[in-house]
Amino acid sequence: MLPLRPPFPPMEAERADALPRGPVWQYEPKWDGFRCLVFRDGDRVELQSKAGKSLQRYFPEMVEAFLALGPRRFVLDGELIVRLKRRVSFEHLLLRIHPSERRVREMSTAYPAEVRLFDILVDDRGGLRIAEPLRDRRRRLEKFTARWVKDPRLSLSQSTRSITTASRWLARGSGDTDGVMAKRRDLPYLSGSRDGMMKVKRIRTADCVVGGYRYAEKGRAVGSLLLGLYNRQGALDHVGFCSGLTGKIREGLLERLEQLQASPGFSGRGPGGPSRWTGARNAEWFPVRPKLVVEVSYDHVTGHRFRHGTKFLRWRPDKAPRQCTMSQISQ
């Protein structure tokens, strides 16, 4: 019998601003995909998300790939990704989560998934290994992939003990990754814990045009700035928002925005309706003339939009709005 069964909480990571240093750490790329625990028990394969949800119905080609491996019992930890034109695309990975079985099959061919493996919890003989330190589990994983993994859709994720190499990954990484993971080599697999693992995300910046704003939930204040970038056709597309504005930033901001208020705000793609970020009062947005430029920091881009909210860095009165183009966030 397989000694681990889903749902099994994976080991998680604490967010950090810089990579930790020292001989106890190893570093790995942080792939821009879905966390995926793989449970093989005889003729059955289950794929589990970080939240404990089943993923196998959405990725039948991955089930087939793991069933084709020689060992009949194992548990692996890794990241599910989808590539489009040789680049990792989180947007197309999201498309794979579809309720229609026919559509799932179609997209498994159109946008096939891959798995990057970075840990082994149960080995190819069915032995439980979570109590072993990471340095031993890594050696077991390397032997497992060298012996059994031939399918190009399955691969061993890179690992290094060099802070120089890890820093280079962080600074020069492509759109395939969004940062670097740091893991304690001397610790066991701590299910559900954030101890001994850190993630350092690659933070990028962009100069954006303010195309509109929303009011805060309470009081007469600005809740968020709606951000835009000019596309190739010269139209201003909505790309995201910036909230969490400090008191100093808000001083005189509402009056300034109200003076600039005018339609359409965004001449290209506009903001959507209410979302998890907007409540009843601040769902409505107000367009402004494209005069203000703000520099923000961001982590992810999906479908030419910031996936999460951005962080305000500074105003850019020295930059012309028309200089704020989509090329800044092109992947």
Instruction: Show pLDDT as tens, one digit a residue, over the chain (331 residues).
Output: 899 999 999 999 998 989 999 999 999 999 989 999 999 999 999 999 998 999 999 999 999 999 999 999 999 999 999 998 888 888 899 899 999 999 999 999 999 999 999 999 999 999 999 999 999 999 999 999 999 999 999 999 999 999 999 999 998 766 688 899 999 999 999 999 999 999 998 878 899 999 999 999 887 899 999 999 999 999 999 999 999 898 888 889 999 999 999 999 999 999 975 444 444 445 689 999 999 999 999 988 888 899 888 999 989 987 889 989 998 887 5
Give me the pLDDT at residue 20, please.
Answer: 97
Tell me whether residue 304 is in a domain: yes
Domain that holds residue 275: 204-329
Per the CB < 8 A criterion, the answer to whether 204 and 299 are in contact is: yes
CA distance 310 to 325: 17
113 class by beta-carbon count within 10 Å (0-12 exposed, 13-18 middle, 19+ buried)? buried
219 shares its domain with 169: no
Take residue 242 and report the two structure tokens written for it: 């910036």
In DSSP terms, 312 is beta-bridged to: 296
Give me the pLDDT at residue 76, please.
Answer: 98
Give me the pLDDT at residue 24, please.
Answer: 97
190 shares its domain with 251: no
Instruction: Give the CATH number, domain containing residue 265.
Output: 2.40.50.140
Domain boundary at 146, 171, 201, which? 201
**For 304, phi and psi rounded to 5 degrees?**
65, 30
30 shares its domain with 151: yes
Q: Which residues does the annotation mark as catalytic?
A: 30
Give me the pLDDT at residue 274, please.
Answer: 45
CA distance 40 to 59: 15
CA distance 46 to 234: 47
Instruction: Give the chain's domain count.
Output: 2
Give me the pLDDT at residue 77, please.
Answer: 98
26 shares its domain with 136: yes
130 shares its domain with 225: no
State the pTM of this model. Answer: 0.75
Give me the pLDDT at residue 280, please.
Answer: 47
Contacts of 272 (CB under 8 A, 6+ apart): none
50 shares its domain with 192: yes
